[in-house]
Amino acid sequence: MSVREIVALGTASQVPTRLRNHNGYFLRWDDEGFLFDPGEGTQRQMAFATLAASALNRVCVTHFHGDHCLGLSGIIQRASLDRLPHPLYVHFPASGMQYFERLRFASIYHPAAEIVPCPIEERDELVVVADTPAYTLYAHALVHGVPTVGYRLEEKSGRRFLPEKLAAAKIHGPMVGELARQGFVERDGVRITADEVSTFRPGTVVAFVMDTRPCKGALALARDADILVMEATYTAEDQQLANEHGHSSAADAARTAREANAKKLAITHFSQRYASTEQHVRDAKAIFDDTVALHDLDHIQIPRRR
């Protein structure tokens, strides 16, 4: 079975530390790779994580503060250096087009990869930014000091065939494939529909919510998510700093996960003022128990819905 996982390439906020690189998150989703918010040093972190540039299909930038985007130049140039054999789609807030163009052509190189800019209008609702037979990628405006969006990857819902019902209906082998394709099969003069031998399977959902105050956009992105990756720049003790700078505390992230009915919360984007994230975890777990604090190069497996 193909792999679905999140690799934390960097978990610092504005200032990297000896232990935390600037922001960066790689989502391995079956045969596709998504890179969220490539900060400085992302290429090197990908090397440490044994991730090749050829694994990338989409880059998703939440906003154009440096710790979320300054690694984009290197990623784009690396795609050309490695002769990326497929298009690289880059999603970002439309109001930041000038910054995207500056990053894309920040230095001299020979463009040899197909880079597809995908600007997003920052709207206060879920907006479809990519739709494939396997998944839909959404964006929603967030509340920060500059135009910012979050992302939600939602697997298309489907059906899970029930072996005992298939056996009872004497459906096996190629007939199962035929049933999946056309929704019914004929057996001994009887039509058997997919509904009779299967159950509905909702799609897996992953949400990425970076720099923002708690807001309805964060809730919309995180609704029923299997895993919510969300910034927790400050501890609850420093809630006032979070409010003043347009960020979330660990408690804010936990309340978002709880109110959105998320299944798991991964907090990240920690201020350099903290030597440890133990207090962040305590703050969050007091509100939402299934919380982990990300460290650089952590891998989190994403369970499939049954």
CATH code of 139's domain? 3.60.15.10
Q: What is the pLDDT, as a whole number, of residue 193? A: 81
1 has a pLDDT exceeding 60: no
Shared-domain flag, residues 228 and 141? yes
306 within some domain: no
Query: Which range (52-66, 95-109, 197-211, 260-274) has the least confidence?
Result: 197-211
How many CA within 13 A on the CB side of residue 163?
Answer: 0
Catalytic residue among 67, 211, 226, 283: 67
Question: Looking at 198, 225, 252, which one is the last position of a domain?
Answer: 198
In whole angstroms, give the CA distance from residue 36 to residue 231. Answer: 13
**Residue at 53: amino acid letter:** A
Shared-domain flag, residues 61 and 103? yes
33 touches 19 (CB < 8 A): no
Tell me: the pLDDT tens digits for 31-43?
999 999 999 999 9
Per the prediction, the chain carries an average pLDDT of: 94
Shared-domain flag, residues 207 and 194? no
Shared-domain flag, residues 88 and 228? yes
296 within some domain: yes
Q: What's the total number of domains in the chain?
A: 2
Shared-domain flag, residues 52 and 150? yes
Shared-domain flag, residues 208 and 106? yes
Shared-domain flag, residues 106 and 167? no
186 has a pLDDT exceeding 90: no
Shared-domain flag, residues 192 and 217? no
Residue 121 tokens, joined: 């209008």
Q: Report, as an integer, the average pLDDT of 234-244.
A: 97
249 has a pLDDT exceeding 60: yes
Q: Which position has the higher pLDDT, 226 or 1?
A: 226
Report the C-alpha dihedral over residues 194, 196, 200, 201, rounded to 10 degrees: -70
In whole angstroms, give the CA distance from residue 125 to residue 141. Answer: 7
Q: What is the pLDDT, as a whole number, of residue 183? A: 77
Active site annotation includes 252: no
Shared-domain flag, residues 152 and 163? no
200 has a pLDDT exceeding 70: no
Q: Report, as an integer, the average pLDDT of 153-180.
A: 80
Burial pattern 52-91, b for ≥16 Cβ within 10 A else e, equals: ebebbbbbbbbbbbebbbbbbbbbbbbbbeeebeeebbbb
For residue 164, give its domain range. 159-198
Tell me: the pLDDT tens digits for 90-99?
999 999 999 9
153 has a pLDDT exceeding 90: yes
Shared-domain flag, residues 106 and 180? no
In whole angstroms, give the CA distance from residue 187 to residue 179. Answer: 11
Q: Report, as an integer, the average pLDDT of 140-166.
A: 89
Shared-domain flag, residues 100 and 194? no
